Structure 1
Amino acid sequence: MKCLIIVAGKGSRLKSLSDSKPLTSILDVPLVERVIRSALEAGVNGFYAVVGYRGGQVRDFLDDLGGKISAPITVIENDDWEKANGLSVLKAKQVLDEPFFLLMGDHLFDPGIARQMIDFPLMGDEIALAVDQDLKNPMVDMDDVTRVMVRDGLIRNIGKGIEEYNCFDTGIFLCNPVLFSALEQSMRETGDDSLSGGVRILAGKGQVRAMPIDGKFWIDIDDPERYKQAESYLLS
């Protein structure tokens, strides 16, 4: 299975550590490399990486990494990287026509989550999102996390500002190409060019399954505090 990784953003809250968020190292290994190696452990056999801010630098690193691992890494440019992440996902529309993983380049996770998800049963018009049901997870930034409402195994609503929720979005997806048309619909009808906007379109049709991660590790490294938490976890 192929994997799409979004590494286009600037990551301004981590600028004190590195000028390139995906290349920020934890214990001498860049974030994006940790994400790629976790996906490899789950059985991914090829990658597409959407780059934007400092794209040339990230491309050079990924080209070098691709020569060291057992799977190709194809880089896709997003010149509109300052806009929401749904546009970065859409950049892969022409190259992904079968089920694929979708990962964020700054979300570290237990490879067991991806291994569980790769066997998750999906219909052709569905996608799935790994969700964290631990609403007291100390590694979650409550001011930034995307919140999710799940009922009967289906995601009913998703967004950073929703008031009713019972899970968190881990940024780990199993997708079908139906996601691309949903993103286009979200942009066309609501002006929302975020990934959550497209997921919300599919959720309204009952086409987004939730997969609980059952307490497994994940973290969105979006600020120095989360960086330190991840470093401590990896050292433990």
Structure 2
Amino acid sequence: MHALIVAAGFGSRLRAVSPSKPLTPVNGVPLIERVIRAAHDGGASAFTVVTGHEGDAVEAFLATAAARLALPIACVRTADWNLPNGHSVLTGAGAIGARRHLLMMADHLVDPALIATVAGAPAAGLVLGVDRRLDNPLVDLDDVTRVRTDPADPTRIVAIGKHLPDYDAFDTGVFAVDARFHDALRASIADGGAGSISAGVEALAATGQARVIDTGDHWWLDVDDPRALDQAEAALALADRYVVAA
């Protein structure tokens, strides 16, 4: 399966640590490399990375990583990385096409088993890996994207957003999507939406085609600020499957 990884944003909350969020080292290995290697271990066989801010540096690193890891990694540059992240998804979709693929974030560290769970989910326009552990201590409640599912059909997304007052799951940042999601995202933008991934999910959810799969106890962490970076390094110091990048 192909993996599309969004790595275009500014990363303002990690700016004091690193000028490029995707290149921020986590115990010596850049975030973007950890994401790619986890995706590969979770079943992805090819990668498209959407770059933007610090694009030259990110693309240069990925060119060397592709050779070192012997993995097919292509980069596409989004026209305006200041736009919401859905625009980056559509930039990548233009390169990947209509086929079903993984959609991941360059700042989400994830157990490969979680990725494999999402990749193996029943096909839908969109399947989002969700964490139903509402007491997960690694989740930043002020920043996490919340998900509400249908009590009558717990696999169906009803609503998604960072400020949902009523929710029953967290968005882990790992999706399996196809052209139906791309089309819903384009339609949302055409209707005046800002173009976030969540807006595209909501547009698809309105048709009943946005689904979830419970990722159980699999580890994941959104590395969005120095505190989360410290948490990631502490967790990985106990059991790190990836060696320091050469």
Question: TM-score normalised to the size of structure 1?
Answer: 0.96
> What amino acid is the match of 1:51?
T
Mapped partners of 1:224, 1:92: distance in 2: 28
Count of matched residue positions in the alignment of Structure 1 and Structure 2: 234
Partner of 1:235: 237
* 3-state SS in 1 of match to 2:94: coil
* 3-state SS in 2 of match to 1:66: helix
Partner of 1:184: 186
Partner of 2:139: 140
The answer on 1:210 being equivalent to 2:212 is: yes
Is the 1:45–1:70 Cα contact (8 Å) retained in structure 2?
no
Partner of 1:79: 79
Report the more deviating stretch, 102-111 or 189-198. 189-198
Q: Where in structure 2 are the equivalents of 1:5-84 lying within 5 Å?
A: 5-84=5-84
Mapped partners of 2:92, 2:26: distance in 1: 28
> What amino acid is the match of 2:22?
P
What's the offset of the Cα at 1:70?
A: 3.2
What's the offset of the Cα at 1:93?
A: 2.5
* 3-state SS in 2 of match to 1:93: helix
Partner of 2:102: 101
5+ long unaligned stretches in structure 1: none
Mapped partners of 1:65, 1:105: distance in 2: 15
* 3-state SS in 2 of match to 1:191: coil
* 3-state SS in 2 of match to 1:60: helix
Equivalent of 1:170, from 169, 172, 175?
172
What's the offset of the Cα at 1:235?
A: 1.2
Deviations 1:157-184 (A, max 9, x none): 1011222111111110001111111111
Is the 1:39–1:111 Cα contact (8 Å) retained in structure 2?
yes
> What amino acid is the match of 1:146?
T
What's the offset of the Cα at 1:52?
A: 0.4
Question: TM-score normalised to the size of structure 2?
Answer: 0.93
Mapped partners of 1:215, 1:150: distance in 2: 19
What's the offset of the Cα at 1:71?
A: 2.2
What's the offset of the Cα at 1:208?
A: 1.1
* 3-state SS in 1 of match to 2:83: coil
Report the more deviating stretch, 184-193 or 127-136. 184-193
Q: Identity over aligned residues, as a percent?
A: 41
Deviations 1:62-85 (A, max 9, x none): 011111223211100013101110
Mapped partners of 1:9, 1:93: distance in 2: 17
Deviations 1:146-202 (A, max 9, x none): 110012111111011222111111110001111111111111114221000001001
Mapped partners of 1:93, 1:115: distance in 2: 21
What's the offset of the Cα at 1:95?
A: 2.2
What's the offset of the Cα at 1:44?
A: 1.0
5+ long unaligned stretches in structure 2: 239-246
Mapped partners of 2:193, 2:144: distance in 1: 21
Report the more deviating stretch, 182-191 or 5-14. 182-191
Equivalent of 1:196, from 192, 195, 198?
198
Equivalent of 1:225, from 224, 227, 233?
227
Structure 1 vs Structure 2 CA RMSD:
1.0
Mapped partners of 1:167, 1:144: distance in 2: 14
Mapped partners of 2:120, 2:12: distance in 1: 36
